Chain A
Amino acid sequence: MTEGLIVSISSYIPLFAILCPATASVLILLSSKRPNIRESWTIIAGILQFSLIASMIPTILNEEVIECTFFQTMFEGIAFGFKVDAFGLIFALTASFLWILVSFYSIGYMRSLREHAQTRYYFCFAIAIFGAIGVALSANLLTMYVFFEILTVSTYPLVIHEQSKEAISAGHKYFAYLLTAGVFLLFAIMMTYYLTGTTDFTGGGIKALAELGPAYKLTLVILFFCFLLGFMKAAWMPFHSWLPTAMIAPTPVSALLHAVAVVKAGVFGIVRIVCYIYGVDLMGTLGLGLALACIASFTMIVANFFAIAQDNLKRRLAYSTINQLSYIILGAALLTSEGIRGAMIHIPFHGFMKITLFLCAGAIMVVTGKKNISEMAGVGKTMPVTMLAFTITAFGMCGIPPACGFISKWFLCWGTLQAGEIIFLFVLLTASLLDVVYFFPIIHIAFFKRPESGVEEVEVKEAPLFMLIPLSLTAIFSVLFFLDFILRLNIISMYFYRIVEVAVGNVIPIP
């Protein structure tokens, strides 16, 4: 494996990056009486955090890793600390960048709707980002678990923000799924530690685990499924139903947390397990890749059928998220370099596209008060910019240019061919086709269907700029990523491809 060649540099940048949202959360509480100052803390922390994380890009591209170990724990072989590698950086970059945009959006959204308990909202949001970035940068499973649980607990107040009976029972469901998952994850982590004496993420898998021998085959298979159950955050079927339920949260929460931070932490974990704990070879020997791919395929197809049946826009998007997450899982499960490339690149790309869709849904709700797709006739005329952004990214979701969804799906398809599993290629294409089935009606209704009231002249009435600009930006980025790759423009977004290149190099042994 390439492990021996990687140079590690020790640095406190990861610590500072993660301290940004933590400090912000305290400051937010302290300035609860002054909304403008309170919100500026969030923005400042977001920008600072993103710049810190971005400053690590050159080191990572140099094929080095950044380590930041705090202390050896009482358990021999487990250190508590961060290790930034290419894969972790992808997730961290995505989450921290989108946090800035969503913070602006939140200001517009929360103030337009005059929501209550805004201090609690911003406080929990900052803690949730603290958890998500922590997950991204963790050096080993135990550290990751700590942040994982922080992420779960801190998002509860956001899910039940409305505080109605319905919201609270949704919150209970959320906890019932995710904390049960936490229990499985803890068991799996301790079991891994017990078997190997380490929980460090190692490119190509933990050697001790691969060397356990055939007697442990069943144990390893069970262990893998415990891990999988532990990452219920990835919303694979049949353990997905917390996600649509959690859509009762305010839209920015659904956008960042339930399209990016929380669910991506789940798939991030699965990819970590596949590539950095078990390793591609061991996964193949145990036949776990195939099992995982089957689960992912099942989820992709079934989630899409569920999505078609939804009339509530946010719920439809939630099912679409479940479907897209399984693209990532499938990519990793193929155990080929292109498949993993597709999976890794789909993490930021899906993040950008799905967040746009959610932000559009929120904007429509703020301006027109409409939540259901069937009521949206004529929205395309009242809110042209929002719906344009929606349309472009919805295309991306289906894998149609000019949004970046095309690229990740291209890699994924290539991955299936590389693995010689034609059947999964069909699954991918069918799922994409189904994506079209449920996204196009929305576009059709919004642009081409006449509103029932029959009013011909429609005034253009967009959401406040605080909301409009972030959603346009994410849409523009989605397109940029695509153009960048196709035309070789070599602008900022090219970094993503290079980082993914490095990450894939870490995981797959170079022949």
Chain B
Amino acid sequence: MFLAEHYPVLVIVISLLSAFTILIAGWVNKKACLPISLATISVQLLLAFFILHQVITSGTIHYWLGGWAPPWGIEYVMDAFNAYVLVIVLFICLLAAIYSKRSIEKEQPGKIVPFYVVFQLLITGLCGITVTGDIFNLYVFLEIASLAAYALIAVAGGRALKASYNYVIMGSIGACFYLLGVGFLYAVTGSLNMHDLSLLLPPLYGNKVVQAAFVFFVVGMSIKMALFPLHIWQPDAYTYAPSAVSVIIAAAMSKVSIYAFIRVFFSVFTTDFIEIYVPIAATLSWIAAIAIIVGSLIAIMQTNLKRMLAYSSVSQVGYIVLGVGLYSTQWGLYGALMHILNHAITKGCLFLVAGAIIYRSGLWHIRDFEGLGKKMPYTSAAFTIAALSMIGVPPTVGFMTKLCLVLASLEAVEYVFVAVILFSTLLNLVYFWRVIDRMYFVRKEGEEESEHEIKKEEAPLSMVFPALILGSLCVIVGILWLPGSVTPLQPIVNQAVKALLGMGVVVP
């Protein structure tokens, strides 16, 4: 198994090379772009599964780039947490790629080649962030992914240009903050390797530079993952981006930013630091709680489906951060990591559906959705399941997150958070049920009892299929979480949580 050692780097290399291959192949034949991209992502996903399997069975993988030993060379480290995130991200990317075929043909017929090139670069960036064990390397990939995302959003033209510009400004500020943090740490320790840093830092925890670096990290990543109140770039970007891109940035890219946040939070710095030197957990939880409520409240006011989903994401990021803030409880971090998967599935499904509706009927205003349940039965069914999951109706994934976070809040004796989580359930109900009502039950003005047949106008298979997969996963994964150790999901998250809280990125 010579090749097996190289899987972590192969995930990146294949993707990067494929981006250029697509460019060249696209010159010859536009139709070659998608198959190459699909094949690449499939191989990457397969590699990710192998890595995950290996991590679970035989522990953390360390890969030294070019054979250079860690503190000097770049090291790729795969433990349960990033293998888990990698699989999620690539799975969403695969579905988005399948989905993009028809949606890009319709939305941007002239830009197919550049679209897929940048798309593949985005995936490279996302994977890079996930696999690396070096904070500067992480910054590099962060920029690759962000630049690709700015470009992909701008592809749509019109208002998307402004959205993308906003994102460029905010995203760059976030990246700069992150870079400043890296610089500070490097100035103090002279190291960029995460594991090395976690060993070097403890004696320096009292140092103001280290503390400032930590704050820079937190603020920088909060912008990237659109944590309230630093989310202002996000609704426009999600709303005006091409449908397939909305799916990726909402479901995959936000998760990767959250991954980076959690990684720096627990693996570079440690729980000791957070508890004693910069007691940020309580503040973070409160911010998250406000995010949950405010995000939902603004979502209720929206009339554009994609925009509503964007604000719902603001509130969902709050769930994850709340879990992180409650890391000292048994279920806090566990719930956060669970919700990374849960939210990726659910929000991915919802954005896929929103895109499919726009593709088929050009509708984006919730008011106009009457009769959609009959017109596009499968799309609407997927939406309904995902919406129920957002609300947290058992046995969907949303319910499981809710259980964990409620338990964590009870354990932390923070009844306010319990109330926030449960109240947000009702708020989610308000804005999602409005859509379901329109789709299935509300009749158009003037339309009477007489049931005139509405023609089925389902979106193309390549768009419905991914939505249905994610829709059914909402229930299946929800049921898989529940039994605990019998299914493969729980041990992964368990191992990840232990690694994060225990000893950073080292062998368990």
Contact = CB atoms under 8 A, between A and B. Distances in A.
A388 interface: no
A190 B418 CA distance: 10
Given A186-B402, A190-B403, A190-B407, A74 B394 contact: no
A187 interface: yes
A183 B410 contact: no
A175 interface: yes
B449 A149 contact: no
B407 A75 contact: yes
Contacts of B394: 145-146, 149-150
Which secondary structure dominates where chain A touches chain B?
A: helix
B429 A179 contact: yes
B10 interface: no
B484 interface: yes
A73 interface: yes
B442 A163 contact: yes
A168 interface: yes
Given A71-B483, A72-B484, A191-B410, A183 B440 contact: no
A74 B402 contact: no
B422 A187 contact: yes
Contact of B484 (A74, A145, A153): A74
A80 interface: yes
Nearest to A80: B482
A193 interface: yes
A193 B483 CA distance: 17
Nearest to A117: B451
A171 B418 CA distance: 27
B425 interface: yes
Contact of B442 (A80, A116, A168, A191): A168
Contact of A72 (B406, B429, B440, B483): B483
Interface string B97-124: 0000000000000000000000000000
B143 interface: no
B410 A116 contact: no
Most A-side CB within 10 Å, residue of B402, B425, B451, B482: B482
B406 to A, nearest CB: 5
Contact of A73 (B402, B411, B426, B482): B482
Interface in A57-81: 70-75, 80
A334 interface: no
B434 to A, nearest CB: 10
A146 B396 CA distance: 10
B441 interface: yes
B429 A149 contact: no
Given A186-B406, A194-B407, A73 B422 contact: no
A194 B393 contact: no
Interface string B387-407: 010000111000000110011
Contacts of A160: 441
Nearest to B334: A74
A117 B453 CA distance: 12
B375 to A, nearest CB: 15
Given A71-B483, A146-B395, A179 B426 contact: yes
B178 interface: no
Contacts of A183: 422-423, 425-426
A71 B486 CA distance: 8
Contacts of A175: 429, 433
A157 B441 CA distance: 8
A180 interface: yes
Nearest to B440: A157
Contact of A180 (B402, B410, B426, B486): B426
Interface in B46-102: none
A179 B393 CA distance: 10
A186 B391 CA distance: 13
A150 B411 CA distance: 28
B462 interface: no
B490 interface: yes
Given A145-B394, A146-B394, A183-B422, A74 B410 contact: no
A256 to B, nearest CB: 21
A168 B486 CA distance: 42
Contacts of A187: 406, 418, 422
Interface string A88-124: 0000000000000000000000000000110000000
Contacts of B388: 153
A168 B437 contact: yes
Contacts of A75: 403, 407, 484
Given A175-B433, A180-B426, A168 B407 contact: no
Interface string A364-399: 000000000000000000000000000000000000
14 contacts: A72-B484, A72-B485, A80-B482, A80-B483, A146-B394, A150-B393, A153-B393, A157-B441, A163-B441, A171-B441, A183-B422, A186-B406, A186-B422, A194-B411
Given A150-B393, A163-B442, 6 more contacts: A72-B484, A73-B483, A75-B403, A75-B484, A171-B437, A186-B406
